[in-house]
Amino acid sequence: MNKHTSTVLSSHRLLSLDFMRGLIMVLLMLESTRMYERLTEASEGSIFHSLMIQFSHHPWNGLRFWDLIQPGFMFIAGTALAYSLHRQQISGVSWSQSFIKVLNRSWWLFFWGVLNYAVGSEGLTFQLWNVLTQLAFTTLVAFLVFYWPMVWQLVFSAGLLLLTEIMYRYINIPGFDQPFTDQHNFGNYIDLVLMHQTSRGGWVAINCIPTACHTIWGAVAGKLLFSGRSQDMKLKYLAIGGIIILILGYVMNISITPIIKRIATSSFVLASGGWCVLGLALFYWWIDVRNHRKNLLFFTVVGMNSIFIYLFFEIVGSRWFNNYIDTITFGVLGAMNVNAVITGIVSSLVIFILEWHLCKFLHRNNIFIKI
């Protein structure tokens, strides 16, 4: 990389990265307010209902829009990691110093991910299905292979998918020897070993192995974007790469391995990863190449404090804040005889607006809470 490229990178942010991260967080914030749940209930029996079910996870074999949110979260974390490591390299930070930083970040991601679900109605529990605990592992893996040539990073990610296929298909534990059946697959067995329980929703802890590909691919995309290649070449590589892995995922789903988000099958990782790469390509073209900068602040103020706001609505929101606002909204609008469905939607909007303004306050005061 030439000196000019490094100087440009050190002085300018990749706005498409900030926008994509912010968009994902805005969607997650709305989900945490129960907005999608309430709109889905309100749309029963209408054409609108088929759209709203896209904002919930597919029950098993299939792919909905909402199944792309966690891959997008982990993918964009890899892209941000690439830019962070490149800036550290420019500043003269050694590999060991960067490793300590990433190790510390992974520890805190793991800590907050476990704490998020540690306190439940039935007492303390230990769960490893949370996106933060998964991201703790995938971030560390992405860092360890980051300085490899991009081709070898991609080969390594293919190896992770092959390992996933082998684990599910060929490690036959009695009672857990049905690779793609809920509660009877290898991932469920590992959960019993690690946590003495399985997820009623079918999620498994070893999802962190195949989904490490999302973070690695995000880091590879980041390396491509800060390289000295032309913008047209960057877009070409992103578009072709995204289309290839997208097609591979859907072809595998036909007769080889079903797309199942809950156990992160290799076909799911490929298909969802393809959508993530194409999404980044689209936003990079729209924002950084075509220079469309209007109305980005709505999303970027959230993306700049993504981990903070995630922890806020997961811990504070779900345990107190949401119910507090619901009580006020239902009390006031209920006294005015407003329909309960409309009241619920209004309450979700109020929660979202208050959380967004919290992000805006932090942004305006240059407060960026990072792990």
**Residues 6+ positions from 224 with CB-CB distance below 8 Å:** 150, 234, 237, 238
Q: Is residue 371 part of a domain?
A: no
Domain tally, the chain: 1
Torsion of CA 363, 364, 366, 369, to 10 degrees: -30
Mean pLDDT to the nearest integer, 89-107: 94
Share of the chain above pLDDT 90, in %: 84
Would you say residue 255 lies in a domain?
yes
Residue 48, in any domain of the structure = yes
In the predicted structure, residue 239 carries a pLDDT above the cut 80: yes
Q: Look up the pTM and report it.
A: 0.92
3-state class (DSSP) for residue 124: strand
Q: Is the CA virtual torsion 145, 150, 156, 161 positive or negative?
A: positive
Q: What is the mean pLDDT of residues 100-117?
A: 93
Question: Is residue 55 one of the residues assigned to a domain?
Answer: yes
pLDDT band (50, 70, 90) for residue 294 = confident
Among 31, 37, 20, 57, residue whose Cα is nearest residue 264: 57
- pLDDT of 252-264, one tens digit each? 999 899 999 999 9
370 within domain boundaries: no
Distance CA 343, CA 304 (A): 31
In a domain, 291, yes or no: yes
Asked if 297 contacts 359 with a C-beta cutoff of 8 angstroms, the reply is no
Q: How many residues does the chain have?
A: 371
Kindly state whether residue 167 falls inside one of the protein's structural domains: yes
Q: What is the pLDDT of residue 124?
A: 79
pLDDT surpassing 80 at residue 1:
no
* Single-letter amino acid code for the residue at 155: V
**pLDDT category, 12, cuts 50, 70, 90?**
low
Stated as kind and residue range, the H or E segment containing 30 is helix 15-32
Per-residue model confidence (pLDDT) at position 10:
40
What tens digit of pLDDT does each residue of 131-179 get?
999 999 999 999 999 999 999 999 999 999 999 999 999 998 999 999 9
Residue 276: strand, helix, or coil: helix
Q: What is the mean pLDDT of residues 91-117?
A: 93
pLDDT reading at 216 higher than 50: yes
Tell me if 235 is assigned to some domain: yes
Q: Which domain holds residue 135?
A: 3-364
Q: 6 pLDDT exceeds 50? A: no
What does the pLDDT average to over 219-247?
95
Provide the pLDDT for residue 121: 65
The mean pLDDT of 301-308, rounded to a whole number, is 91
What rounded mean pLDDT belongs to the chain? 92
